[in-house]
Amino acid sequence: MELTEKQLQWKDEFRAFVDEVVVPHADVHDREQYLEPQVIQKMKEKGYLGSMLEKKYGGMELDWVTIGILNEEIGRGCSSVRNLLTVHGMVALAILRWGSDEQRNHWLSTMAAGEKIGAFALTEPEVGSDAKNVQTTAVLSDDHYVLNGHKKWITMGQIADVFIVFAQCEGKPTAFLVERDSPGLTTTPIDSLLGSRGSMLASLHFENCKIPKENMVGTVGIGLSHVGLHCLDYGRYTVACGCVGLGQACLEQSLQYARSRKQFGSVLGENQLIQKMLTEMTVNVKAARLLCYHAGHLKDQIDPDSIMETWNAKYFASKMVNQAASDAVQIHGANGCSGDYPVERYLRDAKINEIIEGTTQIHEMLISKNSLRNT
Amino acid sequence: METTNVKVKQFLSKFFRKHELQDDEDIFSLGFVNSLFAMQLVMFLEKEFGIKVDNKDLDMSNFKSINAICELVDRKAS
Ligand SMILES: Cc1cc2nc3c(=O)[nH]c(=O)nc-3n(C[C@H](O)[C@H](O)[C@H](O)COP(=O)(O)OP(=O)(O)OC[C@H]3O[C@@H](n4cnc5c(N)ncnc54)[C@H](O)[C@@H]3O)c2cc1C
């Protein structure tokens, strides 16, 4: 698959932006566990927070392959900045696809401009992979829904203005928009994570949290089957592309080191055992990238198979990047275990990708069942 | 209606390989479809028939059988 002239131009633009704006701050994001406001500001100025939205809302209206390239490049620089694009886009796309006209008009322009940041609140302390059994409840009372429950591990939960929250309504999973300042909602930061440490996670506590009844997204009972899975499809795609970028960063850093570090009188890159790791990294990053381009291409065609191809891409890319990051640390020896080189961060960030947007095991269950049925 | 029926049946046959699906049979009660099916079906209908399924159409009774799906497509297309 070849990129068009336009897509190549975008890639150059994104790459230059990441090298200039994102890479210099990635270490601080990781160490200080927050995103630098100036980085978010520059993302807004470029319009990247509206990358997934139509021009009529002030978005960039990029094709899906180009959205993938954007997430790859940002992921090459900083996984947490890419996480911002992921969760924000998940909320924006849920509103675009299943929201009411009023919700679209109210939210999408401000979200495209990055004036309002979105976050995705599905997971709970007791419910992760088994998402349809979330325990948070929403009960209609006059012209409000009243939410009770607890969400955990919510990326950007410390800074988001609006959450898409999944709760049982009349016993069925249903999606709601909850603004940060809703009465009865409190958030608590979560720190000291293994990776994605700049992603400003939070727990959300709903205690008789009142929201207008118009804040339901879609209808009762379609919260997961339509709204949540639509969000997660974008989430999975952008995480997969982010893994390709992170894999590319592992490769570039390893090549640079292998060219300069000398042992036994020659550079590491002369050593066949090092060459093997570099070969695997080179080929596996390319393979993951092609899976992502293929999924993006099918999305541009509105092909129903794009959904499964996105699962395939995320599965392969998230496993791939763990091997790549582990090998990158190996090639760097002790230096790779220190904060002097970025590869130790790459390794920690890589692991998160096998847990978010469906764990590796959930992918193995779903992909194999699909193959058993269809092939 | 005839061709809509054939196209819908063809799409669904991927999911119901070992079962000859009847026009009025309840798709969801058979237990063949996984959690991604609803999204795949919506995408298929929008692409194949050039319609837009929105939140007002998301009554499960619109999707429960081949007949119901064909009626939805006809209604949206007209
Ligand atoms: C950095 C980070 C950011 C996150 N951001 C968000 C966010 O923004 N919004 C949000 O809603 N959630 C978020 N999450 C939560 C994430 O989506 C969940 O952690 C994930 O869905 C897995 O759920 P769990 O952690 O409860 O694991 P569990 O579901 O308890 O699984 C534990 C282990 O058991 C395995 N397992 C579970 N069921 C089976 C089975 N049937 N067969 C075989 N193996 C199984 C899993 O694969 C996993 O290895 C985030 C998590 C992290 C770490």
pLDDT per residue over A355-369, tens digit each?
A: 999 999 999 999 999
- CATH code at position A192: 2.40.110.10
Q: Cα(B28)–Cα(B23) distance, rounded to whole angstroms?
A: 13
Query: Are the Cβ atoms of A229 and B43 closer than 8 angstroms?
Result: no
| Claim to verify: residue A211 and residue A137 sit in the same structural domain | yes
Per-residue pLDDT of A126-162, as tens digits, reads 999 999 999 999 999 999 999 999 999 999 999 999 9
Q: Is A204 in the pocket of ligand 1 (CB under 6 A)?
A: no
Domain finish residue from A56, A91, A112? A112
Q: Which residues contact A257 (CB under 8 A, 6 or more apart)?
A: A268, A331, A332, A335, A341
Per-residue pLDDT of A320-336, as tens digits, reads 999 999 999 999 999 99
Q: Is A87 in the pocket of ligand 1 (CB under 6 A)?
A: yes
Q: Which residues of A touch B36 (CB under 8 A)?
A: 229, 307-308, 366
pLDDT surpasses 70 at A174: yes
Residue nearest to atom 9 of ligand 1 (CA): A154
Query: Are the Cβ atoms of B55 and A229 closer than 8 angstroms?
Result: no
| Claim to verify: residue A83 and residue A144 sit in the same structural domain | no
- CATH code at position A52: 1.10.540.10
Please report the pLDDT score of residue A374 as a whole number: 78
| Claim to verify: residue A271 and residue A346 sit in the same structural domain | yes
Full residue range of the structural domain in which residue A50 is found:
5-112
| Claim to verify: residue A236 and residue A340 sit in the same structural domain | yes
Number of domains, chain A: 3
Residue nearest to atom 25 of ligand 1 (CA): A128
| Claim to verify: residue A157 and residue A215 sit in the same structural domain | yes
| Claim to verify: residue A250 and residue A204 sit in the same structural domain | no
B16 touches A at CB < 8 Å: no
Half-sphere exposure of residue A49, counting CA atoms within 13 Å on the CB side? 26
Please report the pLDDT score of residue A85 as a whole number: 98
Per-residue pLDDT of A68-92, as tens digits, reads 999 999 999 999 999 999 999 999 9
The domains of chain B, with CATH numbers, are: 2-16+26-77 (1.10.1200.10)
Q: Give the A:B interface size as CB pairs under 8 Å.
A: 58
Q: Which residues of B touch A217 (CB under 8 A)?
A: 55
Domain finish residue from A172, A203, A221? A221
Kindly state the tokens that stand for A227.
Answer: 């709204």
Please report the pLDDT score of residue A20 as a whole number: 98
| Claim to verify: residue A264 and residue A369 sit in the same structural domain | yes
Query: Are the Cβ atoms of B38 and A226 closer than 8 angstroms?
Result: yes
Please report the pLDDT score of residue B1 as a whole number: 58
Task: Give the residue-averaged pLDDT of A164-178.
Answer: 97
Phi and psi torsions of A160, nearest 5°: -65, 145
Q: Which residues of B touch A218 (CB under 8 A)?
A: 55, 58
Task: Give the residue-averaged pLDDT of A342-361.
Answer: 98
pLDDT surpasses 80 at A375: no
| Claim to verify: residue A63 and residue A132 sit in the same structural domain | no
| Claim to verify: residue A271 and residue A210 sit in the same structural domain | no
Please report the pLDDT score of residue A343 as a whole number: 98
Q: Cα(A121)–Cα(A182) distance, rounded to whole angstroms?
A: 15
| Claim to verify: residue A361 and residue A236 sit in the same structural domain | yes
Q: How far is B13 from chain A (nearest CA, A)?
A: 10
Contact criterion met (CB below 8 Å) for A22 and A77: yes
Per-residue pLDDT of A228-269, as tens digits, reads 999 999 999 999 999 999 999 999 999 999 999 999 999 999
Report chain A's mean pLDDT, rounded to a whole number: 97
Domain finish residue from A81, A112, A143? A112
Task: Give the residue-averaged pLDDT of A175-192.
Answer: 98
| Claim to verify: residue A321 and residue A346 sit in the same structural domain | yes
Higher pLDDT, residue B22 or A176: A176
Please report the pLDDT score of residue A260 as a whole number: 98
| Claim to verify: residue A254 and residue A351 sit in the same structural domain | yes
Residue by residue, pLDDT tens for chain B (78 residues) are: 568 999 999 898 888 777 788 899 888 877 777 788 889 999 999 999 999 998 888 888 888 899 999 999 999 888
- Name which of B15, B47, B55 is nearest A100 (Cβ-Cβ): B55
